[in-house]
């Protein structure tokens, strides 16, 4: 049995998250939308810390979509190898940047419909780009947001897209970007997968998962 996500309860959750994680932003270091796109693809099943270590040198060698489109697959694989799954990631990055050069003059588009048509770009990556590069509201559903949302009873869905739409119905659109960041940081800091720090959690009184019998 989970709490029904009433407006009052949602408001309390948002207030606590806002106070606990004020002014949080993406941890992925980037200088422009192309770099953010590449970094987000690299972040799949990899920590942001490791991605930042890799992109610190990567973005000195490859700066534009054209650079990524023209680099050899083997060279790109070598550069991003520490992020894991580097073969698939290299293919996605190269194919995506080739498409950017071919159809968008090397620029990252700022619409969901166009972004998700690019190779390797799903709704999660698109929302990261739209929110952080263009300030366009969207809810990012990564593993942290999925886990925290389920534990708080904000959704019973397992599919990230269905979770995204559940959260969009509950959270005012003006708060989508900040809420995504706060949920991600909360998932990292306290509500982690294996050993959540429930007794330290400021959301404990609103979370049946945290107050369940052990």
Residues 110-151: tens digit of each pLDDT: 999 999 999 999 999 999 999 999 999 999 999 999 999 999
Question: Residues 125, 161: one domain?
Answer: no
Closest by CA to 164, choosing from 97, 112, 100, 110, is 112
Could you give the number of structural domains in the chain? 2
Confidence of residue 213 (pLDDT cuts 50, 70, 90): confident
Question: Residues 197, 104: one domain?
Answer: no
Residue 112's CATH number: 1.10.340.30
Sign of CA dihedral 69, 74, 80, 84: positive
The residue segments making up the domain with residue 188 are 7-24+139-206
Within-domain flag for 2: no
Is residue 142 annotated as part of the catalytic site, yes or no?
yes
How confident is the model over 99-110, as a mean pLDDT?
Answer: 98
How confident is the model over 162-178, as a mean pLDDT?
Answer: 97
Within-domain flag for 99: yes
Q: How many helical (H) and strand (E) elements, i.e. helices and strands, does the chain have?
A: 11, 0
Question: Residues 99, 158: one domain?
Answer: no
Within-domain flag for 45: yes
Confidence of residue 4 (pLDDT cuts 50, 70, 90): low
Confidence of residue 212 (pLDDT cuts 50, 70, 90): confident
Question: Residues 144, 122: one domain?
Answer: no
Q: Is the pLDDT of residue 203 over 90?
A: yes
Average pLDDT, the chain: 95
Q: Is the pLDDT of residue 7 over 50?
A: yes
Q: Is the pLDDT of residue 1 over 60?
A: no
Question: Residues 13, 45: one domain?
Answer: no
Question: Residues 129, 146: one domain?
Answer: no
Confidence of residue 190 (pLDDT cuts 50, 70, 90): very high
Q: Domain end: 119, 134, 149, which one?
A: 134
Within-domain flag for 213: no
The one catalytic residue among 89, 142, 146, 166:
142
The one catalytic residue among 124, 162, 169, 174:
124
What DSSP string describes 36-76? Answer: HHHHHHHTTTS-HHHHHHHHHHHHHH--SHHHHHHS-HHHH
> What distance, in Å, lies between the first and last C-alpha atoms of the chain?
16
Residue 157's CATH number: 1.10.1670.10
Q: Is the pLDDT of residue 2 over 60?
A: no
């Amino acid at each position: 049995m989970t709490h029904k996500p009433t407006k009052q309860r949602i408001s309390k959750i948002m207030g606590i998250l806002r106070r606990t994680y004020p002014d949080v932003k993406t941890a992925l270091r980037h200088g422009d939308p192309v770099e953010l796109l590449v970094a987000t693809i690299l972040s799949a099943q990899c920590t942001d810390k490791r991605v930042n270590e890799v992109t610190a040198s990567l973005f000195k060698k490859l700066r534009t979509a054209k650079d990524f489109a023209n680099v050899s697959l083997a060279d790109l694989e070598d550069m991003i190898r520490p992020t894991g799954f580097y073969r698939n990631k290299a293919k996605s990055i190269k194919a995506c940047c080739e498409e950017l050069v071919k159809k968008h003059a090397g620029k990252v588009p700022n619409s969901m419909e166009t972004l998700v048509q690019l190779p390797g770009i799903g709704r999660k990556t698109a929302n990261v780009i739209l929110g952080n590069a263009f300030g366009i509201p969207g809810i990012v559903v990564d593993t942290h947001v999925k886990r925290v949302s389920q534990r708080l009873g904000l959704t019973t869905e397992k599919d990230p897209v269905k979770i995204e739409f559940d959260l969009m119905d509950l959270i005012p659109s003006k708060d989508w970007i900040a809420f995504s960041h706060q949920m991600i940081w909360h998932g990292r800091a306290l509500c982690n997968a294996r050993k959540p720090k429930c007794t330290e959690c400021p959301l404990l009184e609103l979370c049946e998962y945290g107050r369940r019998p052990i």
